[in-house]
Each structure stands twice: as C-alpha cells, then as structure tokens.
C-alpha cells in the first residue's frame, strides 16, 4: 500500500502536467491516459514485490504468456453478450431507445478504437488492483473466498464517488466482482475477467451509449435513451442497476461454473534422495 501510494502521487503529478495538453476529465483520451497510468502504478508495485518475494509476477493473475489469447477473447464474448442481452431485455419492455447515430463515417471507427483501448486498460487496472496482488496476498491469510468477499465489497464501495451511482449499482458491481474472482479461481488467470470487463464497459458506454456506473461519457455511438421505471433501466446508474442485470450475473456465474470446472489438486511429486527410494513431500 505504501509503494502504491508513492507511485500514485507521482502519477498524479504527471497527469497534472499533461492536463495542459490533454482534454478535460470525461473525454475518452483523458480516461485512456488515466487508466494506463493507474494500471502502471499497481503493476509496477507488484513487479517490485515479486522480486522481494522471489516469485514470477504471473502468479498474481496476469501471466504475460496468456495475454490476448483464448481466455481473453472468451471474456470479450461474455462481456458483449451480457450487455447485449441486458439491453435487449430492457428494450423489450420499452426501456431503451437507440436513437439516431451521434457519429458518422470514419468517426465511428476512430472513437470505437479509442474506447476499446481505454476500456482494455480499465479492465487491466481494476481487475489487477482488486483481484491481482492484493487478492493473492490476502488469500494467504484469510482464504480465497473471504478475501474475495472483502475486496468485492471494497470494489463496489469505491464506485460510490461516481456521479449517479447508488447502493443498487454498488451491489451489482460487488456481485460481478465475485463472478470475476470465480473465473480467476477456475482458470488461474485474470485474462478472462479482463476481456469480460473491457467488453462489457465498451458495449455499455460506446456501443449502446448508456450510462456506465453512473457516468455518461462523450463521443459515443448514438443518441440512445433509457426511459421507464428504475427497476427496469437502472435509472442514473445505467443498465447495471437494472433488476435484469442481477439475473444475468447469476446466469453467467452458472455458465462459468459449468464451462470451467474446478481443476484437480496437483499430486505431490516424489523427491529422490540419493539412490534410495522416492520420498513423498507432505504439506
């Protein structure tokens, strides 16, 4: 925590200097810059600690060899599917209207790419910050699931400062945090959660152009609108505050459970002592 605090202060100083040339907060470019720098802070801190602990940094959940491979793209599919089904359910009951296009021609590709990269780093930062080094280390003291529940509550609570966020939205964020932790438990990697997180936010903010965790960003695809009861649309929170969002979180948790079954515990390998017979290692 101390190391992150020092690096975070340095990051804030750099951002203050760059604000003279980067658009104000709320723009896609500022979000991209902020998320890249925030991920750099937590990842650099973990790299330093991996040296102190004499372990490869990949044990904290982001093995370099797994970057942008099968698990990541499966996560992207889950994230886009979840937000698409959610918007479809809300629209079926009259709570979502796509509106006219807000972007045209090459602007669609331009802002689509900017948002895609920005949300990739949102996924990297938030997943590694809450389910990387901190979860790995805390789990050694209190166990994986107790640590997961504590960090999921913190993950939801930290979004309370977002404009338009409320307790229902925070509960939904905490709930999906548990599902992301389940993917880590079953796959041994955060890459599925990173892809899922990034694709969901991309679909919510850019593709379907609705509030994301209580915030509405510029340069989205359409002039979409949510209208109807809060239980249906999520109100100022956005679709993730909808009752349907909680149903989908439960459904996708079951999907993860069946698609990624628990891995059997590794069998201890025998250690040969001289020319004697093998000796089993016992925990």
CA atoms 171, 119, 34, 68: torsion sign = positive
Number of Cβ within 10 Å of residue 240's Cβ equals 31
HSE value, Cβ hemisphere, 13 Å, CA-based, for 24: 2
Domain ranges for the chain, please list them: 66-259
Confidence of residue 218 (pLDDT cuts 50, 70, 90): confident
Confidence of residue 204 (pLDDT cuts 50, 70, 90): very high
Confidence of residue 142 (pLDDT cuts 50, 70, 90): very high
Confidence of residue 214 (pLDDT cuts 50, 70, 90): confident
pLDDT of residue 148: 96
Give, for 106, the enclosing helix (H) or strand (E). Answer: helix 106-131
Helix 144-157 / helix 133-142 crossing angle, nearest 10 deg? 130
Gap between the Cα atoms of 59 and 41, Å rounded: 18
pLDDT of residue 14: 82
Predicted TM-score of the model (pTM): 0.88
pLDDT tens profile 258-280: 999 987 754 444 444 444 444 44
């Amino acid at each position: 925590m101390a190391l992150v605090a020092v690096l975070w202060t340095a990051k804030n100083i750099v951002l203050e200097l760059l604000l003279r040339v980067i658009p104000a907060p709320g723009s896609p470019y500022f979000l991209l810059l902020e998320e890249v720098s925030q991920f750099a802070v937590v990842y650099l801190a973990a790299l330093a600690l991996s040296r102190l602990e004499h372990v490869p940094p990949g044990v904290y959940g982001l093995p370099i060899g797994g970057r942008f491979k099968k698990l990541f793209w499966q996560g992207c599919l889950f994230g886009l599917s979840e937000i698409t089904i959610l918007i479809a359910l809300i629209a079926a009951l009259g709570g979502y209207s796509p509106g006219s296009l807000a972007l045209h021609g090459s602007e669609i590709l331009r802002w689509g790419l900017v948002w895609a990269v920005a949300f990739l780093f949102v996924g990297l930062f938030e997943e590694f910050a809450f389910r990387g080094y901190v979860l790995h280390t805390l789990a050694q003291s209190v166990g994986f699931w107790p640590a997961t529940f504590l960090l999921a509550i913190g993950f939801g609570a930290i979004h309370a400062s977002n404009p338009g966020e409320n307790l229902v939205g925070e509960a939904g964020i905490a709930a999906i945090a548990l599902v992301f932790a389940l993917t880590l438990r079953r796959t041994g990697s955060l890459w599925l959660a990173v892809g899922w997180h990034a694709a969901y936010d991309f679909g919510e903010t850019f593709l379907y152009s609705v509030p994301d965790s209580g915030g509405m960003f510029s340069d989205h695809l359409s002039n979409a609108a949510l209208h109807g009861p809060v239980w249906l649309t999520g109100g100022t929170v956005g679709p993730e505050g909808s009752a349907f969002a909680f149903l989908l979180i439960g459904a996708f948790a079951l999907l993860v459970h069946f698609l990624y079954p628990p891995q059997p515990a590794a069998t201890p390998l025998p250690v040969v002592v001289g020319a004697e017979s093998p000796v089993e290692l016992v925990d």
